[in-house]
Amino acid sequence: MKKVRVRYAPSPTGILHIGNARTALFNYVYAKHFGGDFIIRIEDTDTLRNIEGGEESQLHSLSWLGIKWDEGPDIGGSHGPYRQLERLDLYIHYANILLEKGFAYKEYRENTDQYAIRFKVPKNVTYTFSDIVRGELTFQSKEVEDWIIIKENGIPTYNFAVVIDDHLMNITHILRGEEHITNTPKQMMVYQAFNWKIPTFGHMTIIVNEQKKKLSKRDQNVIQFIEEYEKRGYLPEAIFNFVTLLGWSPKTNEEILSPKEIIDSFDPNRLSKSPAMFDREKLAYINSRYIKMLKVEELAELAKSYFVNANIEIESDQWLYSIVSLLQDRLTNIAEIVDLYHAFFHDDFRLTDEVIEVLREFNSLPILKIFQQHLSNNDFEAETLEQAIKQTGIDAAVKGKPLFMSIRIATTSEMHGPSLPASLALLGKERVLERITQTIQLLRGEK
């Protein structure tokens, strides 16, 4: 069996979009599952749209995702060059062969010696191929007009250059978006003209938003670019996991899968024929699961820059570990830690009518007075605070929700949250006592 070789061929016209990232990931997973090679090729012939730093940005995002390529513009390889603008002589060479064989012809601009080269579409030919995703697809040559393979400026068109490149790079399988389906017969014409073996194609379905409409770059409800996920503190393993579930499903119901598990279990027969919905809640869930799996020290290191950028002073490593440990279970991305920090340490302590009603239902006043006394006599470590809460429950003859919710509301104004002793320790003795006093006064009707 011929070694599997696949490629991802981005244009350096912008940063990596989620749809293109999916194409790259499926090609990478396909190659690695079958023990093959994954190649990066830069399609930079649209010079007017190329942007400075576009190639570097794309490669950085691919690398951040955990994709490792075997050949590419940055590392080289035996089938280079890996930028199309460095391969122009090859396209001209093969276009001239097509001219000599009568498969193409020159089309001169009127009253000049400038010309483009057009491919001569065969008449009454049927093009059929077996698509990995969609099964057998058929096109008729009469549906295609003679098409340009080399423009007047000597630059090849996409459908011509891609065939030359894929053949010379020994590409065996091509996974790409469904918008390329209609390109396939043109490419098959070139393969057949040279009597080259045609690769196996697979065309993945579109990605749709939660309203079942095709995902558009103008859709403001979905983060569109991989660079933005990195900035917001999504974990690359989580994005790898989530994106590969956009159009593919594992045999089990388990959705949290490491890159290795995805590669090992990948089955191209399970690529979906239906549009893939971008489910933001699923993404948040998957990323939160990966965040929960981090060691506190790992998460603290990742979170540090967000505190620094928000001008939040990091008192010590231990302080940072305590904050991170407290908020870890509430994060769906690491950037959220700043808002959670501010929500936690805010000085604008106000009790809503809803939580005041809860305090009255629980008869919280005596509970808070007893807890206040225990706090005055204790240091403010989480362990001693835990004991103070327990002793308050014994002294007040209460337990469960009335005990814990009374103290939580009186100190944080929230009915739910992270570990109560750890929360109190981080809030500090002065702030906690001040809030309890304020709550007691409110319950007494003093203010």
Beta-bridge partner residues of 204: 177
CATH code, domain carrying 362: 1.10.10.350
pLDDT for 116 equals 98
Please indicate, yes or no, if residue 181 is contained in any of the structural domains: yes
* Burial class (CB within 10 angstroms; exposed 0-12, middle 13-18, buried 19+) of 346: exposed
**Chain center to CA of 168:** 32
Q: What percent of the chain clears pLDDT 90, i.e. is strictly above it?
A: 79
> How do residues 60-95 score in pLDDT, each as one tens digit?
999 999 999 999 999 999 999 999 999 999 999 999
With a cut of 50, list the residues of the chain below it in pLDDT: none
Are residues 323 and 306 part of one domain?
Answer: yes
Are residues 178 and 75 part of one domain?
Answer: yes
Please indicate, yes or no, if residue 240 is contained in any of the structural domains: no
SS3 105: strand
User: Would you list the DSSP string of 202-224?
Assistant: EEEPPEE-TTSSBP-TT-TTS--
Torsion of CA 119, 123, 126, 131, to 10 degrees: 10
pLDDT for 417 equals 82
Rg (CA), the chain: 31
CATH code, domain carrying 309: 1.10.8.70
Q: At what angle do helices 401-412 and 420-427 cross, to 10 degrees?
A: 20
CA dist., res. 359 & res. 354, Å (int): 9
Per the structure, the complete domain to which residue 379 belongs is given by 353-444
CA dist., res. 446 & res. 423, Å (int): 27
Give me the number of domains the chain comprises. Answer: 3
Examine the fold and report which residue of 151, 181, 206 is the final residue of a domain before the chain moves on. 206
> How do residues 174-203 score in pLDDT, each as one tens digit?
999 999 999 999 999 999 999 999 999 999
Are residues 323 and 365 part of one domain?
Answer: no
Are residues 305 and 167 part of one domain?
Answer: no
Please state, in angstroms and as integers, the Cα–Cα distance from residue 195 to each residue in 137, 167, 168, 192, following that order.
Answer: 21, 11, 13, 5
User: Would you list the DSSP string of 388-420?
Assistant: HHHHHHHHHT--SHHHHHHHHHHHHS-SS-S-H
Are residues 369 and 330 part of one domain?
Answer: no
Please indicate, yes or no, if residue 28 is contained in any of the structural domains: yes
Are residues 19 and 131 part of one domain?
Answer: yes
Peptide bond between residue 81 and the one before it cis (omega within 30 degrees of 0): yes
231 catalytically annotated = no
Torsion of CA 408, 411, 414, 418, to 10 degrees: -60
Are residues 200 and 71 part of one domain?
Answer: yes
> How do residues 383-438 score in pLDDT, each as one tens digit?
889 999 999 999 989 888 989 999 999 998 888 888 899 889 888 888 999 999 99
CATH code, domain carrying 13: 3.40.50.620
pLDDT for 38 equals 98
Examine the fold and report which residue of 189, 206, 223 is the final residue of a domain before the chain moves on. 206
Beta-bridge partner residues of 107: 116
Are residues 366 and 328 part of one domain?
Answer: no
Q: At what angle do helices 401-412 and 364-376 cross, to 10 degrees?
A: 70
Ramachandran class of 406: left when φ > 0, alpha when ψ lies in -120 to 50, beta otherwise: alpha
Are residues 336 and 419 part of one domain?
Answer: no
Residue from 3, 197, 213, 217 carrying the catalytic annotation: 217
Examine the fold and report which residue of 345, 361, 382 is the final residue of a domain before the chain moves on. 345
Please indicate, yes or no, if residue 71 is contained in any of the structural domains: yes
Are residues 117 and 69 part of one domain?
Answer: yes
Are residues 412 and 327 part of one domain?
Answer: no
Residues 6+ apart with CB under 8 A from 261: none
Are residues 301 and 393 part of one domain?
Answer: no
pLDDT for 414 equals 86
* Burial class (CB within 10 angstroms; exposed 0-12, middle 13-18, buried 19+) of 64: middle
Tokens matching residue 243: 């994106």
Please indicate, yes or no, if residue 132 is contained in any of the structural domains: yes
Please indicate, yes or no, if residue 215 is contained in any of the structural domains: no
pLDDT for 16 equals 95
Please indicate, yes or no, if residue 286 is contained in any of the structural domains: no
Please indicate, yes or no, if residue 370 is contained in any of the structural domains: yes
Please state the pTM of the whole predicted model: 0.90
pLDDT for 446 equals 64
Q: Does residue 410 contact residue 442 with C-beta atoms inside 8 Å? A: no
